[in-house]
Amino acid sequence: MPQLSQIPEIYASQLFWLAIVFALIYFGIGKAMVPKIERTVEDRNARIAGDLAAAEAARDAAAASDAAYESGLEAARATALGTLSKAKDKATAKSEAEVKKGDAASEAKIAEATVRIEATKTQALGEIEAETVDAVQDIVAKLSGVKADRASVAQQVKAALANG
């Protein structure tokens, strides 16, 4: 078979060209493409590292800003509570002063009213006593026909009113 006798000659030249093509591809990719790919990977890694560092710095800045905000908020809250406490104390003192002033005015009015009531009561009792003396004199005069002495009738009326 003549095809089988040509195999060593054909394979030898094909293996030679195969080795040359593989060598060209190896050196072409190894010397031209690999450095570009490595440079791209290094650039990408550097950019990722830079982005991570920037993100870390931003997170630290945000944490510092948040801490400053919280401390400012706490300071404002403390100031507001202090102001509120002062205002509350001031309002309480003012209302207590007004209540005391009102109590003093009420006490004065009550004392004045008590004096007036006592004076009116004394006057009314005096008038009742005088009217009673007159009525008793008239009754004694009508019933017995004798005119009673005003002083003795007044003394008897006072005794009767005192005993109740």
- Per-residue confidence at 155, pLDDT binned at 50, 70, 90? confident
Give 91-119 pLDDT, tens digit per residue: 999 999 999 999 999 999 999 999 999 99
Enumerate residues 6+ apart whose C-beta is below 8 A from 156. 136
Q: Give helix 150-163 / helix 34-144 axis angle, nearest 10°.
A: 140
| CA pair distance 123, 114, nearest whole angstrom | 14
In this prediction the pTM is 0.42
The b/e string for 86-102 (b: 16+ C-beta within 10 A; e otherwise) is: eeeeeeeeeeeeeeeee
**Do residues 133 and 151 touch, judged by C-beta distance below 8 A?**
no
Where residue 5 falls among pLDDT bands split at 50, 70, 90? confident
Tokens of 115: 């004096």
Give the 3-state secondary structure of 25-78. HHHHHHHHHHHHHHHHHHHHHHHHHHHHHHHHHHHHHHHHHHHHHHHHHHHHHH
pLDDT at position 2, please?
67
